[in-house]
Amino acid sequence: RLRLHDGKLIKDRRYHLRTYPNCFVAKELTDWLIDHKEAPDRETGIRLMQKLMDHYIIHHVCDEHSDYKDAKLLYRFRKDDGTFPLSKDVKVFMRGQSLYEKLISIEDSILKVREENSVKYQRTFLGCEMIDWLIQEGETANRKEAVELGRALLEHGIIQHVSNRHHFFDSNILYQFWINFRRRRRLTELLNENSSRALSESPDSPFCLRKLNPDQGNTSFLSVQPNKEIKIVSAVRRSSITSLSGNTNPYFSATPTLVFPPVAECNPKSVLKRPVTNEELLSPGAPYIKKTLTIVGDAVGWGFVVRGGRPCHIQAVDPGGPAAAAGMKVCQFVFSVNGMYVLHLDYQTISSLIMTGPRTLVMEVMEAIE
């Protein structure tokens, strides 16, 4: 967007006696993508812009077209007209980016290469140092507010404890920025996302209990793409031995052992004793209670399988995974995902919502009263 502003592709344009501010011509933008090596051909350029439309980043100036057409039509970045949806997740991400840019641009920054247990980590800081800096710079009013900000950044995958063992605390614990915001990214990376491919290729939900031998360079179970500076967590999240050790801290991942459980069937028989309708779930006096679960995903996923549709239900739960630790059980019905009502959706749509959302998942489920 900023490069297009600099190149004067985004400007006020007049069409049919009306002036449209800060917009661009789709056909001109497709040419620009090819000329600047952002897309190898027009077809790829169109797909890239459609991705931006699907994620509410650009739109047709009159919202008359829901798809991106390689024609003399006017489109606009939502950030240029104030319609960009600033959800809580987006606000946290933008706050993290702002803090990162501020930290690396100052002299004697608290971000340094540090070593722990003979391993060097990039862009690290101590929790108490970060809190001191946030207060000193006026980013937060007090230490409590600073801790809350640090926890939000960690839960959204922007920072992490260097060995992923702790949440954010006001202490001498070592943390690092998980995302390198300065890494040069190309638009074509948007087309490498495999969430839609996983949904189309597998008849089962993508939230398998174990993902064996994943492609570590691009895995749908990571909230951000890893780079060379970050150690990838083993795909074997927790073995049955680990789950018996009594460790219930969802932010601590014990060293995984090479114990592979049986792979879940692609089309398992439904765990429901009988079909249940939305009307039955929502009728007054129905024998169901609603629960709110907060699940912090790890490098493998969230540890559950969702099946069915209208309503969807929990088909299986990994006993040693994050979902089980949060209280998820089989046969629960999915009521909402990150605040969005989903009883009317099928499992493919719900799976896509979860996979493209934050690492910290908030779900409301409905459970039958015993």
- Whether 329 is in a domain gets the answer yes
pLDDT score at 268:
59
What is the C-alpha separation between 288 and 179, in angstroms, rounded? 41
Degrees to nearest 5, angle at CA 268 with 266 and 273: 155
pTM of the model: 0.47
Q: What is the pLDDT of residue 91?
A: 87
Distance CA 292, CA 296 (A): 13
pLDDT of residue 169: 94
pLDDT, averaged across the chain: 79
Among the listed ranges 33-47, 88-102, 233-247, 356-370, which one has the minimum average pLDDT value?
233-247
Task: Transcribe 325-361 into DSSP letters.
Answer: HHT--TT-EEEEETTEE-TTSBHHHHHHHHHTS-SEE
pLDDT band at 22 (very low <50, low <70, confident <90, very high): very high
Average pLDDT over residues 211-240: 33
- The position carrying tokens 């650009």 is 58
Over residues 36-49, the mean pLDDT reads 93
Q: Collapsing DSSP states into helix, strand and coil, what is residue 59?
A: strand
Asked if the model's pLDDT at residue 213 lies above 90, the reply is: no
State residue 193's pLDDT score.
Answer: 57
Pairing of strands 112-116, 119-126: antiparallel
* Model confidence pLDDT, tens digit, residues 302-336: 989 899 888 999 998 888 889 999 999 999 999 99
User: For residue 34, is it within any domain?
Assistant: yes
Domain membership flag for residue 233: no
DSSP-assigned letters across all residues of 282-329: HSTT-SEEEEEEEEE--SS--SEEEEEBSSEEEEEE-TTSHHHHHT--
Do 61 and 15 share a structural domain? yes
Percent of the chain residues past pLDDT 70, beyond the cut = 79
Asked, as a colleague might, if the bond just before 311 is cis with ω within 30 of 0, I would say yes
What are the pLDDT digits (tens) for 226-269? Answer: 333 333 332 333 333 233 333 444 443 333 333 333 433 445 57
Q: Phi and psi of 66, rounded to 5°?
A: -90, -10
Average pLDDT over residues 132-159: 93
Q: Binning pLDDT at 50, 70 and 90, where does residue 29 land?
A: very high
Which structure tokens are listed for 188?
Answer: 């074509």
The answer to whether residue 267 is domain-embedded is no
C-beta of residue 3 within 8 angstroms of C-beta of residue 23 = no
- Asked whether residue 70 falls in the same domain as residue 92, the answer is no
pLDDT of residue 211 exceeding 90, the answer is no
Query: Which structural domain range is residue 342 located in?
Result: 278-368
Whether 25 and 63 share a structural domain: yes
Residue 96 has pLDDT above 70, yes or no: yes
Q: What interhelical angle do 88-104 and 143-155 show, nearest 10? A: 110
pLDDT at residue 196 greater than cutoff 50: no
In a shared domain, residues 93 and 155 = yes
> In this model, does residue 273 exceed pLDDT 90?
no
- The residue among 27, 48, 77 that closes a domain is 77
Report the number of distinct structural domains present in the chain.
3
CA distance 365 to 306: 12
